[in-house]
């Protein structure tokens, strides 16, 4: 596997960051294996889906963040599952948890959002887990794009479990407006689900134009990422991206 760039701040203030998207199935699997995978990826930002949502959910989220040498940025039960974590390299301007319109009979969905600064760059973040229902999923993709735009930052990063592959209308809508980072600079593995025999790419990292995608994919083979840990951690494989955010002029 080719080496993925490490996080750094360049002399001109540009920031090279590592972004991880991970569906953690409410910490129902091997939490120690999950933490080892996340630490080995050395992310600046983690876009989580299916974070704990019930009894003592804040405590569970904070415990996971601490095991990964990260802190909780926002989200969790108040965003219906999506969560954001970050390293201490990240300066947080604001956060907001957004609940989406609820369709009776379907699971409630939401977004965990934030505006952050890293080095001389400023970015808006959205962690999302779209619906299992095709029509609702398409509408939620539109709302995700609206939310990225409403954050009103030079750069935007959205990541999550799309619940459909690149040939689906919701994924296509996102990739038509944002950069689908794996398609721009494929690195590592492609397919993310199910973990034991992945046959589809339903998890992705997206970025607005102006963000330079240095590499993106499933970090199987990354030093420190053990295959047995990937299988034990949860039912999805993670997606890791290296992005360069030019400094504001």
- The CATH number of the domain holding residue 32 is 3.60.10.10
Residue 79 falls inside a structural domain: yes
Residue 82 falls inside a structural domain: yes
- The closest of 184, 238, 247, 246 to 42, measured between CA atoms, is 238
- Please report the pLDDT score of residue 248 as a whole number: 79
- Please report the pLDDT score of residue 170 as a whole number: 98
What b/e readout covers 44-56, taking b as 16+ CB neighbours within 10 angstroms?
bbbbbbbbbbeee
Residue 84 falls inside a structural domain: yes
218 is in which domain, residue-wise?
A: 8-245
Residue 249 has pLDDT above 80, yes or no: no
Residue 21 has pLDDT above 70, yes or no: yes
This prediction has a pTM of 0.98
Mean pLDDT within 163-175:
98
Residue 172 falls inside a structural domain: yes
Q: What is the pLDDT of residues 187-223, one digit of tens each?
A: 999 999 999 999 999 999 999 999 999 999 999 999 9
Q: What is the pLDDT of residues 71-116, one digit of tens each?
A: 999 999 999 999 999 999 999 999 999 999 998 989 999 999 999 9
Both tokens of residue 93?
């301007």
Residue 45 falls inside a structural domain: yes
- The closest of 220, 224, 215 to 191, measured between CA atoms, is 220
Domain count for the chain, please give it: 1
Residue 1 falls inside a structural domain: no
- Please report the pLDDT score of residue 77 as a whole number: 96
Maximum C-alpha span of the chain: 52
Residue 218 falls inside a structural domain: yes
């Amino acid at each position: 596997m080719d080496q993925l760039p490490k996080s750094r701040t360049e002399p001109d203030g540009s920031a090279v960051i590592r972004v991880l998207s991970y569906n953690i199935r409410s910490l129902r699997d091997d939490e120690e294996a999950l933490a080892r995978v996340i630490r080995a990826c050395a992310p600046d930002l983690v876009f989580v889906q299916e974070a704990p949502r019930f009894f003592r959910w804040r405590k569970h989220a904070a415990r996971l963040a601490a095991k990964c040498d990260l802190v909780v940025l926002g989200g969790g039960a108040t965003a219906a599952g999506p969560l954001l974590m970050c390293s201490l390299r990240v300066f947080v301007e604001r956060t907001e948890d957004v609940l989406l319109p609820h369709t009776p009979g379907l699971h409630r969905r939401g977004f965990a959002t934030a505006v952050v600064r890293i080095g001389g760059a400023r970015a808006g973040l959205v962690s999302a887990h779209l619906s299992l229902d095709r029509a609702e999923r398409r509408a939620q993709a539109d709302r995700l794009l609206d939310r990225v735009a409403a954050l009103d930052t030079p750069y935007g990063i959205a990541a999550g479990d799309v619940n459909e592959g690149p040939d689906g209308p919701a994924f296509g809508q996102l990739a038509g407006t944002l950069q689908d980072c794996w398609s721009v600079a494929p690195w590592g593995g492609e397919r993310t689900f199910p973990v034991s025999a992945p046959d589809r790419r339903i998890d992705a990292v997206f970025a607005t134009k102006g963000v330079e995608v240095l590499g993106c994919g499933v970090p199987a083979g990354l030093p420190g990422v053990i295959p047995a840990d990937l299988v034990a951690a949860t039912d999805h494989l993670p997606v890791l991206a290296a992005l360069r955010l030019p400094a504001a002029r």
